[in-house]
Chain A
């Protein structure tokens, strides 16, 4: 095993362990902090794939902004102190959860089987470099992908987010 593999198994193992702790923990604040750790491990995995930009964005957007908002909400709802466990949900809810979980697994299996996932090795990255293209996962490569190859889907996504934001403001204002 070389260094990258050691790093992969370490980070992947930690990511799985912390993700399990997120759902099993009783204290919501602790769960959230484990989620932050899990996102960190994911960012680490991106780094081992030479995708530094994705790693930075993963921390900046998810760990640094979205989860802070989650933390904010949890604290304002004051769930942390001696809240009794919610117990098992009802049978229909359990069935629905199992169903959606299975659907997600099926989606993953099909995607992984269809996709061309060749391991990104240093040799491959250098080969791409020599062909005069941007390095895999670098800022330049992501910029080209987002703003040249997939410009329309990217803009549509941002529009969707804007609509959601405006919708949330409208809903919040109507209360008064």
Chain B
């Protein structure tokens, strides 16, 4: 890799990291104001800088200051090394997963075509599952190292839940992998630019409606969000695995949860809702328009910007859906959660896989391949 290539890669990685880290305070704000909206309250609106409250947007700033300067307490009975490691182990996989998500079509810089994706791996979606499966370590270690029975119960629940739903999550995407014939997310998004009968965008949700439903439910469970937040369940376990964590260490868990939520929503969008594809305007058409307007170089930038806008809008909707569901549905009971995971989601995902394979076989047979 030459110098320019390295600089471009670093710029992309920096951009994604910036995006993810800044999504956290925005989401906290959206969560609070959204909860207030749903419960017919006003929500945080008093914190202000020189009289400007910005609809409560200053509140996350105050929260950060509070997290930084609060007393940082390590319980004397805790296993210090693992207690300190756990938040870091939780945050790192959450930050890493986004690397394979494409957020726009290729951009032209001089002679160079740059993919708007940090890493285009051959194994694509498998990388996501591999890294996401590591998130459970932080949760388990946090609960165990705290040496507190509520924390430990929370972490035992969390790990059983995450392992159970990882299965249906992986299986629900396999149907899509078979349809598109690739594991690479960028190729999948590109394939979703096609249209059915020239009208309906041929998105993953159209091809695999059941897969979409199963994947969305699994993402809710994997991110420990309501109605599946049994790892925390305030009413019985205080707040589960991070009960004993204070100040910025608690905030690290918090950040990991919201970043995992953003990545989950980005995956739903990329796999099932056409990713950066603008509905009804193919990437070629869009690039043609912008090239007429600004020339091929700057035109590809404008097109990428519009596609990034489309991606962000879809992403924003799913992030809102996470919050909407949280303040609408009550929490599952633990046996209900397990029954749903193993006796409903897993068989449905397997059936979906079988039917998809059979249909593909028939289509391929009819095409004489």
Contact = CB atoms under 8 A, between A and B. Distances in A.
Interface string B129-144: 1111110110011001
Interface string A52-96: 110111011001110011011001100010000000000000000
A29 interface: yes
Interface residues of A, number: 23
A59 B79 contact: no
Contacts of B132: 64
Contacts of A56: 123, 126-127, 129-130
Given A29-B82, A68-B163, A80-B79, A52 B121 contact: yes
Interface in A142-156: none
B159 A139 contact: no
Given A52-B121, A138-B122, A139-B183, A60 B129 contact: yes
A29 B131 CA distance: 20
Given A71-B140, A72-B159, A52 B133 contact: no
A36 interface: yes
Contact of B144 (A29, A64, A69): A29
B123 A59 contact: no
Which among A53, A56, A76 has the highest number of chain B CB atoms within 10 Å? A56
A17 to B, nearest CB: 18
Contact of A68 (B122, B123, B136, B152): B136
Contacts of A139: 122-123, 126, 183
Contacts of B121: 52
A46 to B, nearest CB: 11
Contacts of A75: 140, 144, 152, 156
A59 B131 contact: yes
Contact of A71 (B123, B127, B131, B137): B137
A53 B137 contact: no
A160 to B, nearest CB: 20
A60 B129 CA distance: 7
Interface string A23-62: 0000001100100100000000000000011011101100
Given A29-B82, A64-B130, A139-B183, A52 B122 contact: yes
Contacts of B130: 56-57, 59-60, 63-64
A30 B144 CA distance: 13
Of the candidates B130, B141, B166, B183, the one having the most CB atoms from chain A within 10 angstroms of its own CB is B130
A64 B133 contact: yes
Contacts of B141: 29
Contacts of B82: 29
Contacts of B166: 64-65
Contacts of A29: 79, 82, 141, 144
Interface string A123-139: 00000000000000011
Contacts of B131: 59
A80 B159 CA distance: 19
Contact of B133 (A30, A55, A63, A72): A63
B301 to A, nearest CB: 31
Nearest to B121: A52
B322 to A, nearest CB: 23
A33 B183 CA distance: 29
A63 B134 contact: yes
Contacts of B133: 59-60, 63-65, 68
Interface string B157-173: 00100010010000000
Interface string B36-79: 00000000000000000000000000000000000000000001
Nearest to B135: A64
Contacts of B140: 68, 71-72, 75
15 contacts: A29-B82, A33-B137, A52-B121, A55-B123, A59-B134, A60-B129, A60-B130, A63-B133, A64-B132, A65-B133, A68-B159, A71-B137, A72-B140, A80-B79, A139-B183
In order of increasing CB-CB distance, the 5 nearest A-B pairs are A64-B133, A59-B130, A60-B130, A56-B126, A56-B123
Given A56-B123, A59-B131, 18 more contacts: A30-B81, A33-B137, A36-B137, A56-B126, A59-B130, A63-B130, A64-B132, A64-B136, A65-B163, A68-B136, A68-B137, A71-B140, A72-B140, A75-B152, A75-B156, A80-B79, A139-B122, A139-B126
Interface of A: 29-30, 33, 36, 52-53, 55-57, 59-60, 63-65, 68-69, 71-72, 75-76, 80, 138-139
